[in-house]
Amino acid sequence: MSRKILTAIIVIYGLLCGRGSFAQKSVVNVGDVKSVHIGSGEVKITTTAAFAEITVYSAGVIRVRITHEKPVDDFSYAVIEKPVAVKASIKEDAGNIIIITDSLQTRITKRPFSIAFYTREGSLINEDEKGLTTSWVGNEVTSYKKLQEGERFIGLGEKNGNLDRSGSAYTNWNSDVFGYRADQDPLYSTIPFYIGVHHGLNYGIFFDNTYQSDFNFGASNNRFSSFGARDGEMNYYFIYAPAIAGIIDAYTGLTGRMHMPPLWSLGYQQNRYSYYPDKEVLRIAETLREKKIPADGITLDIHYMDAYKLFTWNKERFPDPAAMNAQLSKMGFKITVINDPGIKVEKGYAAYEDGVKENVFLKYADGQLYTGQVWPGWCHFADFTSEKGRNWWKTQMKSYVDNGVSGYWNDMNEIATWGQKMPNNVLFDFDGHATTHQQAHNVYGLEMTRASYEGARSLTGKRPFILTRAGYAGLQRYTAIWTGDNRAEDDHMLAGVRLLNSLGLSGVAFTGMDIGGFTGNPSVGLYARWMQLGAFIPYFRNHTGVNTKSAEPWAFGEEVLEITRNYINLRYRLLPYIYSTFYEASQNGMPVMRSLAIDYTHDANIYDPHYQNQFLFGKAFLIAPFESTKDFGEIYFPTGNWYNLYTDELQAGGQKKIFPLSLQKMPVFVKGGSIIPMQTLIQSTAEKPADTLFLHVYKGDIANSIVYYEDDGESYNYEKGGFYKRTIRYDHQLTLEKAEGSYTSRFNNIKLVLHGFASLQQLKVNGAVQALQSSGINFLTPISRFDPQGGYATPDRCQVHTLDIKNSADRIVVEF
């Protein structure tokens, strides 16, 4: 054997023998605990390779912060809540550190460092995977959690896929994804918060790291779930509550809750890319009124601008936007305009000149202004992560306000640029914590909406409507969000349902999607089905793209016009219920559009792909959407009793049942025990309904309540007590508790409408016997002229008992 061959064998043998050692060294684990300092409600730990801080944020929330170097800077765009003082016991022995609150136990093992969370009674909720725990590969940091038997994962914000995310993996990097696939990831926004479910327990984990992050829920392995980021800290909040509603409450306590929206934004919105000139906008408004289609908003896309330059109007298309908006306002319409972050580089363009002068644009590391190409051409971008940049944006918004604009649609704020590859050496202020594009990218959209919300509020004193495409955890404080450039396809409609339900699980209550699809042309059946669904979506926006057919309700024939009008009418009659549901969201973060996983967490059927698109609209309505091509649909009814909305036919819970589907009606059911306030039909929220509040009560065996809420719908007076609020309870009797607040209800009378009380002939109101009336009501106008058998169709009617009551701010008790 030659010396060269022998040398080669020795080298190869050495590499093979040292390979395992090298691989282990390339992964740096937290290691063993070396020192412990116990403070008030917190533990500071030094390990072999890291520093850790474990903080009791509240009885059910524990913050875990692990860094390579001793942590100094503590800054978050998402978390606005500080730790609260709670009773917590912290004990240390040779092998463990144990933190006990009223809600849970946190056990920290010392060798090696690992964390496990238990209920107060000792049931395991979540634990680090032994041997892996938290580690670094280069700058990338990841925590590994042991997969529990049968564990499910839900939430994570705007993510495609199944309701149960087990076996899947996801990346968070806000992306401009025109016409995305129904299984595509990532999409436009980042909310790194998920909920785990197993063995009758549930927990939440919010990973507050704005770098590109990755979540693995048992994809390509059967050992662990994990979450990590390309750089930055391992910084997460572990949240435990007995019910998912409590987890959402705690998460939105950390990251903030929505303000009450302007009432008009809950009405129907007619959009297109694009409506122009002004005569076309007015024609759309006039046609909506002529055809008695209730509506409150029209949106202007990028073609209202002069050469796509922000804060400008095309003078040929819109010679007098203020006059146009004044005319629309008289008709009961509000205008929303799109605004992108790119400011065209053009001498003489006021926003460009002023932005350069005020030094608010993003720069490279060498101080040169960053330039990226979007709709206007080459553009600069305001640094919304600086207070100076946000304040500059607010001053620019005055031109919108002066022209009568009421809504602000923040688009292209991922940041989107042609090429979709902003350089990582672009610098951001990050509110005094200077950083690069890598850390700032995912929060750029959030901070743009912050600037828009604060600017519009300060300029008008009224509630603005803000809509965004991109964002980060906490976006609910400033804005509604829609799911971007979807397709006119059945799978996109149903994927959109899951996207909105997931956003709701992730603390965002005001959500929407482009009804009818943005790209392509829906079939007649798909359009009708999607518009029906839209009546039960928080942000009800019809929108289609350029080079598509018209998608207004009258564009698909007379039958579809009548179908869509029926459901828009129902939406407007339901506004008292919808507004009260939004009030609940502002108080505890509960979404308006609710995955069944919130109330029926441990019912395996709701995770079945056959039923995962079903959802609750508020507490009362069970919505069951299906593809437009289906003639029959199987519906799962969770625990409880469920009334057919149109006929009051009763369905028992805990069963699956097949129903015929029709173009005219979407399956909608009402849960027994529900209380639903409704009003008379109006054509816009600028119009006052009649002064009778219809209070629909559905007989049930389970106690239920609703907080009925009113205010003026446009100002912030409600923050100073200018509201009307009363709790209404149903538990074998109906109790309207004494009204709170200084606002006077717009309703002088109440008509009690009782469903399922067939044998009831009389009742007592505050002790006085009252006789009931029997009548029939229908929730949808009959489509008689389209009866396929000819002649006139008999409308579905609910046979109910009614009673007229004088509304009073005092307590009202109705005994059945």
What residues does 27 pair with on adjacent strands? 137
The whole-number pLDDT of residue 14 equals: 41
Domain coordinates in residue numbering, the chain: 26-255, 264-343+384-595, 596-816
Is the Cβ–Cβ distance between 472 and 191 less than 8 Å?
A: yes
Order of strands across the sheet with 140-146? Answer: 27-29, 134-137, 140-146, 224-229, 213-216, 169-172
pLDDT tens digits along 325-377: 999 999 999 999 999 999 999 999 999 999 999 999 999 999 999 999 999 99
* Radius of gyration in angstroms for the set of CA atoms belonging to the chain, rounded to a whole number: 28
The whole-number pLDDT of residue 781 equals: 75
The whole-number pLDDT of residue 1 equals: 47
Choose among 447, 460, 533: nearest CA to 496: 533
Residues 556-575 have a mean pLDDT of: 97
Tell whether domain 596-816 is in CATH 2.40.50.1070: no
State the pLDDT confidence band at 319, using cuts at 50, 70 and 90. Answer: very high
Residues 89-100 have a mean pLDDT of: 97
Residues 144-163 have a mean pLDDT of: 98
Distance CA 674, CA 617 (A): 12
State the pLDDT confidence band at 6, using cuts at 50, 70 and 90. Answer: very low
- Cis preceding linkage at 415, omega within 30: yes
| DSSP strand pairing (471-472 vs 189-190) | parallel
pLDDT tens digits along 496-552: 999 999 999 999 999 999 999 999 999 999 999 999 999 999 999 999 999 999 999
Order of strands across the sheet with 435-436? Answer: 363-364, 426-428, 435-436
- Scanning 337-381, the segments in alpha helix (DSSP H) are 350-358
The whole-number pLDDT of residue 71 equals: 84
Distance CA 674, CA 389 (A): 48
Residues 409-423 have a mean pLDDT of: 97
Percentage of residues in the chain with pLDDT exceeding 70?
Answer: 95
pLDDT tens digits along 648-658: 999 999 999 99
State the pLDDT confidence band at 788, using cuts at 50, 70 and 90. Answer: very low
The whole-number pLDDT of residue 270 equals: 98
**Residue scoring higher pLDDT (189 or 7):** 189
The whole-number pLDDT of residue 23 equals: 55
pLDDT tens digits along 29-44: 999 999 999 999 999 9
Q: Is 501 helix (H, G, I), strand (E, B) or coil?
A: helix
Q: Lowest mean pLDDT: which of 7-11, 405-409, 520-524, 577-581?
A: 7-11
pLDDT tens digits along 278-311: 999 999 999 999 999 999 999 999 999 999 999 9
pLDDT greater than 70 at residue 216: yes
Is the Cβ–Cβ distance between 454 and 392 less than 8 Å?
A: no
pLDDT greater than 90 at residue 9: no
Give the class (CATH, top level) of 26-255. mainly beta
The whole-number pLDDT of residue 787 equals: 52
The whole-number pLDDT of residue 51 equals: 98
Residues 13-21 have a mean pLDDT of: 41
Distance CA 317, CA 304 (A): 7
Residues 469-473 have a mean pLDDT of: 98
The whole-number pLDDT of residue 21 equals: 47
DSSP states along 59-81: TTEEEEEEESS-------SS--P
State the pLDDT confidence band at 639, using cuts at 50, 70 and 90. Answer: very high
Domain 264-343+384-595 and domain 596-816, same fold? Reply is: no
The whole-number pLDDT of residue 3 equals: 46
pLDDT greater than 80 at residue 242: yes
Residues 555-563 have a mean pLDDT of: 96
264-343+384-595, CATH topology level: TIM Barrel (3.20.20)
Distance CA 816, CA 814 (A): 7
pLDDT tens digits along 394-409: 999 999 999 999 999 9
pLDDT greater than 90 at residue 431: yes
Is the Cβ–Cβ distance between 700 and 674 less than 8 Å?
A: yes
How many helices, marked H, and strands, marked E, lie in the chain? Answer: 14, 54
Question: Annotated catalytic sites, by residue?
Answer: 411, 414, 485
Helix 350-358 and helix 387-396, axial crossing angle in degrees, nearest 10: 150
Choose among 195, 185, 232, 238: nearest CA to 210: 232
Residues 606-634 have a mean pLDDT of: 98
Question: Measured at the alpha carbon of residue 643, what is the angle toward residues 639 and 649, in degrees to the nearest 5?
Answer: 125
What residues does 100 pair with on adjacent strands? 89, 105
pLDDT greater than 80 at residue 703: yes
Distance CA 272, CA 334 (A): 15
Cα 290 to chain centroid, rounded: 34
Is the Cβ–Cβ distance between 528 and 522 less than 8 Å?
A: no
State the pLDDT confidence band at 72, using cuts at 50, 70 and 90. Answer: confident
State the pLDDT confidence band at 561, using cuts at 50, 70 and 90. Answer: very high
Cα 257 to chain centroid, rounded: 11
Is the Cβ–Cβ distance between 377 and 370 less than 8 Å?
A: no
- Cis preceding linkage at 538, omega within 30: no
